[in-house]
């Protein structure tokens, strides 16, 4: 196997983006594993890997990766939204709603606001 360099990591990251867009999340995860092994602090790579885990229905791995991203970037609205979707798919609606609301508060995009259900009576 060829030696990994910063350039190959960039190429692997970009290729992983294309694989995820082409509905090959497992292929994306494989490429991102080596990028993250070399650059564990790279939040963009971790967020992309979390998305790939989610798309591959590897929900526990997605959850852990989204949580790690949020530890580093607590104001990342997309990561809150994606973590909420993960909680939603694992039947944890209270945790999901909390993160939907955080996402909407950070970035009031229509899909975030709709998921946050701020107008629902009776919840705090």
pLDDT(122) > 50: no
pLDDT(124) > 70: no
Alpha-carbon distances, residue 67 vs 2, 3, 24, 63, 124 (angstroms): 32, 31, 23, 6, 23
Give me the pLDDT at residue 12, please: 97
pLDDT-derived band at 121, boundaries 50, 70, 90: very low
3-state secondary structure 35-79: HHHHCCCCHHHHHHHHHHHHHCCCHHHHHHHHHHHHHHCCCCHHH
């Amino acid at each position: 196997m060829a030696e990994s360099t910063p350039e190959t990591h960039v190429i692997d990251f970009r290729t992983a983006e294309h694989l995820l867009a082409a509905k090959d999340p497992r292929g994306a995860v494989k490429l991102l594993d080596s990028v993250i092994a070399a650059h564990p602090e790279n939040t963009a790579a971790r967020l992309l890997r979390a998305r790939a885990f989610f798309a591959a229905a590897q929900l526990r791995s997605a959850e852990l990766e989204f949580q790690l991203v949020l530890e580093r970037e607590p104001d990342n609205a997309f990561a809150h939204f994606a973590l909420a979707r993960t909680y939603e798919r694992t039947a944890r609606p209270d945790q999901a709603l909390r993160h939907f609301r955080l996402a909407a508060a950070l970035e009031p995009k229509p899909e975030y606001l709709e998921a946050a259900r701020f107008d629902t009576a009776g919840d705090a």
